[in-house]
């Protein structure tokens, strides 16, 4: 940090500044405070906890075992399920992107520049 302090004239980077480490609202908190809820409130978290519990649809099997078998059965019956299963098992197939290298790109920055210079 000292090296940054020496290289920068930005007073907010210096530890002596009372605003150092605080956000613009002055709280000093960072992150996405109003964003993703804690794990206890996420459906995915609850489902993961259920995976090792007994499944009511298949005696002697856990939810994980039943879901694995059911996913395989559905993949055999439906192409959409098969694609989803293959994407999960093998990884999603990416499409190649073609591009030409002899393309001329011209950027105009600002307003009112005279185009009399040409290309």
In terms of domains, do 86 and 48 share one? yes
Instruction: Say how far apart CA 59 and CA 75 lie, in whole Å.
Output: 23
In terms of domains, do 88 and 42 share one? yes
In terms of domains, do 45 and 15 share one? no
Q: Do residues 119 and 108 touch, judged by C-beta distance below 8 A?
A: no
Name the pTM for this structure. 0.46
- Residue 112 resides in a domain: no
In terms of domains, do 53 and 20 share one? no
Per-residue pLDDT for the chain (119 aa), expressed as one digit of tens each?
444 444 555 555 555 555 555 555 556 666 666 776 667 778 888 899 999 999 999 999 999 999 999 999 999 999 999 999 899 888 888 888 887 778 787 877 777 656 665 55
Q: Which residues contact 11 (CB under 8 A, 6 or more apart)?
A: 17
Q: Which residues pair with 49 in a beta bridge?
A: none
């Amino acid at each position: 940090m000292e090296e940054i302090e020496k290289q920068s004239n930005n007073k907010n980077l210096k530890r002596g500044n009372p605003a150092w480490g605080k956000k613009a609202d002055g709280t000093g908190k960072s992150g996405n405070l109003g964003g993703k809820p804690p794990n206890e409130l996420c459906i995915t978290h609850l489902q993961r906890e259920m995976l090792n519990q007994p499944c009511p649809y298949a005696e002697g099997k856990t939810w994980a075992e039943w879901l694995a078998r059911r996913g395989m059965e559905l993949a055999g019956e439906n192409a959409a399920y098969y694609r989803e299963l293959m994407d999960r098992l093998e990884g999603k197939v990416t499409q190649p992107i073609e591009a030409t290298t002899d393309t001329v790109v011209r950027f105009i920055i600002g307003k009112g520049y005279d185009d009399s210079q040409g290309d």
